[in-house]
Structure 1
Amino acid sequence: MNEHQSEPVTKPSNWNLPNVLTMFRIAMVPVFGFALLHDGGDSSTWRWLAVGIFVLAMITDKIDGDLARARGLVTDFGKIADPIADKAITGMALIGLSIVGDVWWWVTIVVLLREWSVTALRLSVLSRLVIPADQLGKIKTAVQAVALTVLTMPLPHGDSHGGAFDALGMPGEILFYAGQVLLAVAVVLTMWSGFEFYRSVWQQRHHLRG
């Protein structure tokens, strides 16, 4: 055997901690949805539980990605399951908040169409093109996560929820509208980063054909 011949690269097992955390996030999606929608979204206790679940999902998202890269545990399964887990939990948050009347449905529809179309395209070209998450996409994800965390809280706003959350008073109402502003920023960043993603795909395909 030629001493300069490289050894075959051993692929990491799918049974690793980052993938387990990813599957844990997926399993939390229906639990989060149940907590958010319990009693029509009017239960302060269940809304706080939903906040805790959502924050835990966002933390594990950060941890599993860092672990996979730092320990060489990136797998094909993880490349597929991780974005699905991310979009599932944020999608459930948007849909749930629209059901209880805290987020406009058009916002949810626009964001979900962008998120799932980008995810589907990313997965479809996974073996041919390398499209890493750019800084704009990371900022979008962070702003979106903060906005959805705030809006999941049992915050008073006008006559919504029949006054169920009035105990938090004016500071809570201000925080609710701050969350709406953050969500508006997230929508703009979502569409902008989506445009940049499609442009990157088109440029890489054009380069390969050339």
Structure 2
Amino acid sequence: MGIPLSPRSAQVIDLDVMRRRQQAKRRMVRLAPELDGLEMIYHLASDPDTLYGMPLLAWGLREDGDVVGLVPWMEALTSCHELNDSEHGHFVGYRDPETEEVFQSAPEHKVLELEHAAAYFDYEETSEPTLIQQLPDTLGTHALCMDSDEQPWQLKQVFGWRLFSDGEIEALLVDESQVESTPVLAGDACLYPGHSRHQVVYFFQRIIANRIKQEDPATLEALALMVAR
């Protein structure tokens, strides 16, 4: 027969608090651009024997100390290790095109760079999210922006990426009607975070964006199927 617990021995576990703590450990605290051409390697369930390569935009340091590669993917700047979709792509590893080496963890020099930068730029906690860092987009990434079913979509080039203190990363887009001087530089008033104006934002590599601009039939058909979901 079990021993009844007294009210004092009962422990209440707040699952919502625990979830927030786990999310905080996974949030990004610092970014470093990838400037040496390293790639993410992935495969598709429809063709598992073929490997595809995609250039990395940056590396990110999480609060728990984990360093991950980042690529513009679907609707966000995404950790490569989180790509585990049977239809759109499954992460295999990182690749150095120069040596053809495939590896699973971030290079040591990037880990050290991020750790030292995070220690140097030690920001204080604030009640409202604040801007921590801004990176230029070096891949020619484009964003397909949609506001409603009644309005036409817009294809815009991504100018850069902003990291906020809550770990959120936003794409910076250009409002062409507000451009006062060129080239556009960080801090110009014509720049705005994509999700601040658009209901849906999808990211594409430069080669796909050019096919959309050229109205390639196969690309537009695949785009229509994706948007319809």
Larger radius of gyration: 2
User: TM-score if structure 1 supplies the norm length?
Assistant: 0.26
| Structure showing greater relative contact order (alpha-carbon pairs closer than 8 Å, 6 or more residues apart) | 1
- 1 or 2, which has the higher strand percentage? 2
